[in-house]
Amino acid sequence: MSVDSFRFLLGDQLSHGVSSLAGLDPERDVVLMAEVVEECTYVGHHPKKIAFILSAMRHFAAELSERGVRVDYVKLDDPDNSGSFTGELERAVRRHAPAKIVVTEPGEYRVLAEMETWSDRLGVPVEIRGDDRFFCSRRDFARWAEGRKAPRMEHFYREMRKKTGFLMEPDGKPVGDRWNYDPENRKRLPKDVSPPEPKGFEPDEITREVLDLVASRFGHHFGDLEPFWFAVTAAQAERAFSHFVKTALARFGDYQDAMAQDRDTLFHSVIGLYLNAGLLDPVKVCRRVERAYRDGTAPINAVEGYIRQILGWREFVRGIYWLKMPDYAESNALEAYRPLPAFYWSGETDMNCLSQSIGQTKRQAYAHHIQRLMVTGNFALLAGIAPKEVCAWYLAVYADAYEWVELPNTHGMALHADGGYLGSKPYAASGKYIQRMSDYCAHCRYDVKETLGETACPFNALYWNFLLEQQARLQDNPRMAMPYRNLARMEPARIEAIRQQAERFLRGLEPAEAEAW
Ligand SMILES: Cc1cc2nc3c(=O)[nH]c(=O)nc-3n(C[C@H](O)[C@H](O)[C@H](O)COP(=O)(O)OP(=O)(O)OC[C@H]3O[C@@H](n4cnc5c(N)ncnc54)[C@H](O)[C@@H]3O)c2cc1C
Ligand code: SF4
């Protein structure tokens, strides 16, 4: 039977309001959804992440069917499944002969490039609609960034506050007369404060079937599939978010940068995976969080800090991604070429901060921002790991990772591989930072106060060695003036000993095998 149009829906477009579904006629149009192996394996995604996306897709398809929409759903284990988006569209065009195909632009440049070939390859007109599930369109971001040598998140964020009215007074001033409460948001977790657990859900029949499938097809990828506790529908994601607002939001700000032994989520919301797949709407999330401030149930440092992540950072990195791709991914401003160490795929290292951050990534497909930036990211920066290898790791291991958000955060923010386009200075830090923000060092075989010797914390020598190696590139950066002043005060003999210590450590790193997942 021929149909008017196909609405082709990707696994991170699970929103009933997504642009590709606008104007859908249930009598004449068909929604096509396909689980394809190519998307599960172009990097070796964490099994929990694959299970989350496949289960959420199946639940979304069931909701559409309940609403009377005709859904053509191709499962991963369908014997005729071609394994790629293009292959599935070719087969579906043969099945339904649609007059046109409607899609929402994807979250990855790679997929957009593929989409742009579809019209010619399939012989059917393809309409690619913008993704309006963001506060700032690609075009508006490009307009804002035009003429700026180095766009900065803080400037963009203030514009977004004014544009949307979040946390603004009627006279146009920011609530509390300050735009940013970050200085209040750097506390360590005290011993007597117990963070709540995020809301989890028992797998239902659909999820169980997906878990069996993922175990048999992708069980060898890095990461633990079970226990599986993620929300897989919008209703469940709303409950998980509500639980965060009730139990954690008020202290989100205070402990936003804290890390603690065996505490995976602290006061973070663990909703990135739901937002990015379309199960939660960022507008509603920010409204709900602002209401908590207006109701007096959460303080301004928590609420401003939280809204900044979504209205500021999330939108900003997306804008940068689409503005700068595809060249962005190719830059390597610090000329970092070392292979990814094997312990990124096992967590087996004596460095406790790394083993904690990677160990929980393996268990949960989750680590919070400071673990990603200041532990695994900082190590990769200081050790000069090749950006492409680091980015592939981050894209694979986190349940919320899609290239539009992962790449600017990893390549730009954590690795400074874009030469400072996204962030004004590298987030390089010695062990002192990790000691200040966590109790990891108290459980580590290394001594964070030492720089030289067998038991010295490796981050310390690596930090000074990084400053030395990158001196020509970084010493004129005004935000690096203090570290370079400290370096200038160091005795030449100590500098030489640090260099040798760092070199010995780096030589001892075992590289990961190709496709080690
Ligand atoms: C090296 C590195 C890689 C990262 N990769 C990803 C990724 O693949 N996907 C991803 O969604 N986030 C990524 N982030 C950003 C951030 O770490 C995660 O969004 C956050 O940890 C998700 O956990 P949460 O939902 O508990 O967030 P919370 O701490 O509770 O924050 C709330 C929400 O704010 C948004 N947010 C916070 N920080 C950022 C940021 N820097 N960029 C974009 N959104 C942000 C997220 O949607 C998040 O869910 C990365 C950060 C770094 C440093
Ligand atoms: S001593 Fe160094 S390696 Fe060990 S946990 Fe602290 S910062 Fe990490």
| pLDDT beyond 70 at 399 | yes
Query: Does the pLDDT at position 517 exceed 90?
Result: no
| CA angle (244, 199, 310) in 5-degree steps | 40
Q: Average per-residue pLDDT in the chain?
A: 97
**394 contacts: CB under 8 Å, gap ≥ 6:** 372, 401, 406, 409, 410
| Residue 190 Cα to chain centre, angstroms | 27
At 364, which amino acid appears? Q
CA 211 to ligand 1 centroid distance, Å: 25
**What is residue 1's predicted lDDT score, i.e. its pLDDT?**
56
pLDDT, position 149 = 87
Pull the structure tokens for residue 318.
């997306």
Residue reference for tokens 């579904």: 21
- Whether cis (ω within 30° of 0) applies to the bond prior to 227 is yes
Q: Which of 135, 369, 370, 374 to mutate to test the pocket of ligand 1 (most atoms within 8 A of CB)?
A: 369
pLDDT of residue 323: 97
Cβ contact 382:461 at 8 Å: no
440/371 Cα distance (integer angstroms): 11
Question: What is residue 514's predicted lDDT score, i.e. its pLDDT?
Answer: 74
Residue 400 to residues 355, 361, 409, 504: CA-CA distances in angstroms?
A: 21, 12, 12, 36
Distance, CA 418 to ligand 1 centroid (Å)?
19
Tokens of 53: 């996306």
Dump pLDDT digits (tens) for 165-195: 999 999 999 999 999 999 999 999 999 999 9
ω into 339 cis (within 30 of 0): no
Per-residue model confidence (pLDDT) at position 153: 97
Give the nearest ligand 1 atom to 410 CA: 1
Q: How confident is the model at residue 212 (pLDDT cuts 50, 70, 90)?
A: very high
Per residue in 338-394, pLDDT tens?
999 999 999 999 999 999 999 999 999 999 999 999 999 999 999 999 999 999 999
Residue 150: per-residue pLDDT: 87
Which ligand sits nearest to residue 440's alpha carbon? Answer: 2
Of all residues in the chain, the percent with pLDDT exceeding 70 is 99
User: Would you say residue 2 has pLDDT above 70?
Assistant: no
Query: What one-character-per-residue DSSP string does 73-122 give?
Result: EE-TT-TT--SSHHHHHHHHHHHH--SEEEEE--SSHHHHHHHHHHHHHH
Ligand 1 pocket test: which of 281, 286, 309 has the largest number of ligand atoms within 8 Å of its C-beta? 309
Residues 328/420, Cβ–Cβ less than 8 Å: no
438-485 confidence digits (pLDDT tens): 999 999 999 999 999 999 999 999 999 999 999 999 999 999 999 999
Instruction: Classify strands 126-129 and 5-8 as parallel, antiparallel or unpaired.
Output: unpaired
Rounded CA gap, 189 and 187, in Å?
A: 6
446 lines ligand 2 (CB under 6 A): yes
457 lines ligand 2 (CB under 6 A): yes
Confidence label for 265 from pLDDT (cuts 50, 70 and 90): very high
Q: Is 433 in the pocket of ligand 2 (CB under 6 A)?
A: no
Pick the residue whose CA is nearest to atom 6 on ligand 2. Answer: 441
Tens of pLDDT, residues 69-99: 999 999 999 999 999 999 999 999 999 999 9
3-state SS class at 52 = helix
For residue 201, pLDDT over 70 is answered with yes
Residues with CB under 6 A from ligand 1: 268-272, 275-276, 309-310, 313-314, 317, 368-369, 372-373, 377, 394, 398, 400-401, 405-406, 409-410, 413-414
**CA Rg, the chain, in Å?**
24
Q: At residue 305, what are phi and psi to the nearest 5 degrees? A: -60, -40
Per-position b or e across 61-100, b if 16+ CB within 10 A of its CB: beebeeeebbbbbbebeeeebbbebbbbbebbbeebebee
Whether pTM exceeds 0.85: yes
- Ligand 2, atom 5, residue with closest C-alpha: 441
Beta strand segments in 142-254, E: none
pLDDT digits (tens, 9 = 90+) for 108-144: 999 999 999 999 999 999 999 999 999 999 999 999 9
What lies within 8 Å, CB to CB, of 208 at 6+ separation is none
